[in-house]
């Protein structure tokens, strides 16, 4: 499982969708 910290920019969600396409389990938390 991966954890992304969202610093209120769209790049975080670009990475989120990229990892989902690769089949990774990922969660995003707001900073």
pLDDT in tens, 4-31: 999 998 899 999 999 999 999 999 999 8
pLDDT value of residue 31: 87
pLDDT value of residue 9: 86
**pTM as predicted:** 0.69
pLDDT value of residue 25: 94
State residue 26 phi and psi, 5-degree precision: -145, 145
d(CA 18, CA 30): 18
What torsion do the CA atoms of 19, 20, 22, 26 make, to the nearest 10 degrees? Answer: 60
């Amino acid at each position: 499982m991966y954890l992304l910290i969202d610093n209120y920019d769209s790049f975080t969600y670009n990475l989120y969708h990229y990892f989902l396409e690769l089949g990774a389990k990922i969660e995003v938390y707001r900073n």
